[in-house]
Structure 1
Amino acid sequence: MEIVLDHVSFTYQAGTPFAGDGLKDVSVTIPDGSYTAIIGQTGSGKSTLLQHLNALLKPTQGTVRIGDRVITPQTSNKNLKPLRAKVGLVFQFAENQLFEETVEKDVAFGPKNFGVPAAEAMERAHHALTLVGIGPEYYQHSPFDLSGGQMRRVAIAGVLAMTPELLILDEPTAGLDPKGRKELMTLFEQLHQEQGIGIVLVTHQMEDVANYAEHVLVMAGGQVIKQGSPAAIFADPDWLHAHHLGLPQAARFARLVQAQGLPLPAPLPLTEKALAHALLPLLHPGKGQSDE
């Protein structure tokens, strides 16, 4: 599902003394089936942009096209429900939205609320729980008896049970330990590659941008100030520093190597694998990528 924002601006509490700009003249395209990362400092407009991608917020000016639906400032809130089933939004600390007495009931709630028959809703719930790695032994448990990482997986399963075409993730690994963070990021990559689900990821983890994203939007002051591939975004460390953004760890290490006078091929390696390939000829002269 392609999403196109055309000169979108959004003002919080418009027409009041407390009015504030959330977005300013944003024009971007989220390609169908893509893995897009959105980065920027806190307050840059990332979460506001996300909420326009499934019409939780409507633009103050401009238009948002979500598939074949066009959202304008005048669009009625009626009949937007089917749209929100196609674009699933996972908020930061999604486990805070759990409320049912059992895991399977919580995951099945969304489809049932959208009119899916109870038996089919439960079928969807079990399938979604399988996708996120929660087995049948947990179905009758209270979600509040699970670990933090398991609770977050159950919350994500609740969104997947709606069978979305696009999954929007707002800092989905916040608060998790490194193992839990890696497991979740691997899950999202599998959903993208194996289920064909488009991903839009807001993150402060530059490693995740380098390892998973195909396209990157950089935001500041409610505007998209740069966009392109991870290689293009990370090609100018000075520009990133000026906008209070960093490089992935592999690229930072590569710059330290360069500072010691060791030649590394351009562009800077962004991932651990790319860094290993670049360092191999320096550590073992005569060996190359084909010698793995």
Structure 2
Amino acid sequence: MEIVLDHVSYTYQAGTPFAGDGLRDVSVTIPDGSYTAIIGQTGSGKSTLLQHLNALLKPTTGTVRIGDREITPKTSNKNLKPLRAKVGLVFQFAENQLFEETVEKDVAFGPKNFGVPEKEALARAHHALDLVGISPEYYENSPFDLSGGQMRRVAIAGVLAMTPELLILDEPTAGLDPKGRTELMTLFETLHREQGIGIVLVTHQMEDVANYAEFVLVMADGHLIKQGPPAEIFSDPAWLAEHHLGLPRAAQFARELRAKGLPLPDIPLTEQALAAEVLAILRPTREADHE
């Protein structure tokens, strides 16, 4: 599902003394089926932008086209439910969205609320729980008896049970330990690659951008200030520093190695790419030592 923002601006509490700009003249296309990351400092407009992608917020000026639906400032809130089923939004600390007495009921709630018969809603719930790695032994448990990581997986399953075409993720790994964060990011990559679900990810983790994203949007003060593939976004460390953004750890380490004399031809963005480049440099030296 392609999403196109055309000169979108959004003002919070418009017409009041407390009015403030959330977005300022943003134009961008998010291609169908892509994995797009959105980065920027706190208050840059990332979350405001996300909430326009499923019409949770409507633009103050400009238009948002989500698939074949056009959202304008005058769009009624009626008949937006089918759109929001296609574009699933996972908020930061998604486990706070849990409320039902069992895991199964919580995940099935969304489809049932959209008119899906109970039998099909339960089938969707079971499939979604399987996708996120929650086994049947937990279906009758209270979601509040699960670990934090499991609770977040159940909340994500509730969104997946709606069978979205696009999954919008607002800092989905916030508060998780490194193992839980890696597992969740691997899950999203699997959903993207194997299920064909488009991903829009807001994150402060530059490693996740480098490892998973195909395209990156950079926000600052409500403006879209740069867009492109990760290699392009991370090609100018000085520009990143100017906007209070960093490099992925592998790229920063590679720059330090180069500064110390290691002749790296490129600055790799991921640990795997860095390891491959270092091995390529060291292998001839080792072979020569054994001759």
Please say whether Structure 1 and Structure 2 have the same fold, judged by a TM-score greater than 0.5: yes
- The equivalences for 1:117-128 within 5 A come to 117-128=117-128
Q: Which amino acid aligns with 1:205?
A: Q
Report the 3-state secondary structure (helix = DSSP H, G, I; strand = E; otherwise coil) of the residue aligned with 2:24.
Answer: strand
The equivalent residue for 2:69 is: 69
Instruction: Provide the rounded CA distance (Å) in 2 between the counterparts of 1:198 and 1:63.
Output: 21
Q: Structure 2, unaligned stretches of length 5 or more?
A: none
Residues in 2 aligned to 1:201 and 1:287: alpha-carbon distance in whole angstroms: 42
In the TM superposition, residue 283 of structure 1 has moved relative to its aligned partner by 2.4
Any idea what the Cα deviations from partners look like across 1:110-153, whole Å, max 9, x if unmatched? 00000000111001000000000000000000000000000000
Within a 5 Å distance, the mapping from 1:195-210 to structure 2 comes to 195-210=195-210
Alignment-derived partner of residue 186 in structure 1: 186
Tell me, what secondary structure is at the counterpart of 1:27?
strand
Distance in 1 (alpha carbons) for counterparts of 2:16 and 2:114: 35
Contact 1:2–1:66 (8 Å) recurs in 2 = yes
CA contact (8 A) 1:280 1:287 kept: no
Q: In the TM superposition, what whole-angstrom CA distance separates every residue of 1:186-241 from its partner, at most 9, and x where no partner exists? A: 00000000000000000000000000000000000001100000000000001000
Equivalence map 1:162-241=2 (5 Å):
162-241=162-241
1:97 aligned partner, one-letter code: Q
Residues 14-42 of structure 1: per-residue CA shift (max 9 Å, x gap): 00000000000000011000000000000
**1 CA distance for matches of 2:115 and 2:286?**
61
Q: Distance in 2 between matches of 1:80 and 1:123?
A: 24
Provide Cα deviations, 1:92-114, integer angstroms capped at 9, x if missing partner.
00000100000000000000000
TM-score by length of 2: 0.97
**Aligned-pair identity (%):** 85
Does the residue aligned with 1:163 lie in a helix, a strand or coil? Answer: coil
Aligned to 2:279: 280
The whole-number CA distance in structure 2 between the counterparts of 1:61 and 1:144 is: 41
Corresponding letter in the other structure for 2:233: I
Matched, 1:156 2:156: yes
Tell me the SS of whatever aligns to 2:181.
Answer: helix
Answering whether residue 12 of structure 2 is matched by residue 16 of structure 1, we say no
Query: What SS does the corresponding residue of 1:235 show, helix, strand or coil?
Result: coil
CA distance in 1 between partners of 2:280 and 2:141 (Å):
53
2:174 partner SS: coil
CA distance in 1, matches of 2:146, 2:29: 38
Alpha-carbon deviation of 1:61?
0.2
* Gapped regions of structure 1 (runs ≥ 5): none
Which residue is equivalent to 1:83? Answer: 83
1:59 is paired with a residue whose SS is coil
- Three-state SS of the structure 2 residue aligned to 1:75 is coil
Aligned residues: 287
Q: What amino acid sits opposite 1:260 in the alignment? A: K
Is residue 2–residue 30 contact of structure 1 (8 Å, CA) maintained in 2? yes
Partner residue, 1:49: 49
> What's the CA shift for 1:278?
1.0
Return structure 1 stretches of 4+ with deviation > 3 angstroms.
none
Deviation string 1:172-198 (CA, Å, 9 cap, x unpaired) is 000000000000000000000000000
Work out whether residues 281 and 287 of structure 1, in 8 Å CA contact, stay in contact via their aligned partners in 2.
Answer: no
Counterpart Cα distance in 2 of 1:39 and 1:286: 40
Question: 1:269 corresponds to which residue?
Answer: 268
CA distance in 2, matches of 1:157, 1:287: 50
- Partners of 2:86 and 2:20 in 1: CA distance: 30
Shift of 1:277: 1.2
Deviations along 1:219-265, one digit per CA (max 9) or x if unpaired, are: 00001100000000000001000000000010010000011122111
Q: 1:124 to 1:287 in 2, by over 3 A?
A: farther
